[in-house]
Amino acid sequence: MSEAPVLIAKDARGVATVTINRPNVRNAIDDTVIRLLTDAFTGLGVDGGTRIVVLTGSGSAFCAGADLGWMRRMAAASEAENVASAKTISAMLRSLNELPKPTIARVNGAAYAAGTGLVAACDIAVAVEQAVFSISEVRIGLTPSTISPYVVAAIGARAARRYFLTGEPFSAADASRLGLVHQVVAESALDGAVESLIATLLAGGPQSQSRAKRLIADVAGRPVDDALEMLTARSIADARASPEGREGIQAFLDKRKPAWR
């Protein structure tokens, strides 16, 4: 396998797999990995040939959080340098969260701190049974700041009160119960489960999936009022009038597969 810290592979279906490739440090991220991940998410987001993005880690871990050597350097850095560094992490997570294609976290092992944030920022997460999660920042005197919008959205404020404050590890089964992951499988079944999700996602229209992601962001947490009613009405009207919407409806009426399939 390549020694590059981030690997990108795309198959003929348009399924891109982004792999954090630092197994010797359990795929801990540093400034280089953050930059490469941001570039990967941004580039795949605008790539017309990419349909789905799968995020995973090399070896036995998904992502063990921030690299200790990098954190040691940042502890000695100035406040301005620390703010700039933190903004690169938040920008990376946001680029994943807002990537206009379906994203799948293939959680092949432990996901700690920033690793948990990466899982939460993906649309769908599948984890192996032995995966362990931890929002562990408080245990080294830090706070889970940049990952908090995504983790709180996934598990809710009530659960965050416990796991943000204790930093305790929790199992894949608990992660599923909390809503952080959607499916827990045996290690031998991980690739099959991801492939099943990919097949299901490929059945949907790529533009409609992108619009659906924006719609979720637009409506989440908002009261149902006149403005929201108009937003949703315009959303479906635009979808019906779009080339993809017209093709999908016509394919349904013709009892054939739509062009994107």
User: Taking the alpha carbons of 60, 63, 69, 72 in that order, is the dihedral positive or negative?
Assistant: negative
Instruction: Exactly one of 3, 81, 137, 168 is catalytic; name it.
Output: 137
Classify the C-alpha dihedral 47-49-55-56 as positive or negative.
negative
92 forms beta bridges with none
- Other beta carbons within 10 angstroms of residue 202's beta carbon come to 16
Neighbouring C-beta atoms of residue 103, cutoff 10 Å: 25
Residue type, 173: A
Is 137 among the catalytic positions? yes
Yes or no: say if 32 and 73 are a contact pair by the CB < 8 Å rule: no
Query: What is the rounded CA–CA span in Å between residue 122 and residue 205?
Result: 19
Element of type H or E holding 10: strand 6-10
β 132-134/170-171 pair status: antiparallel
Catalytic residues: 137
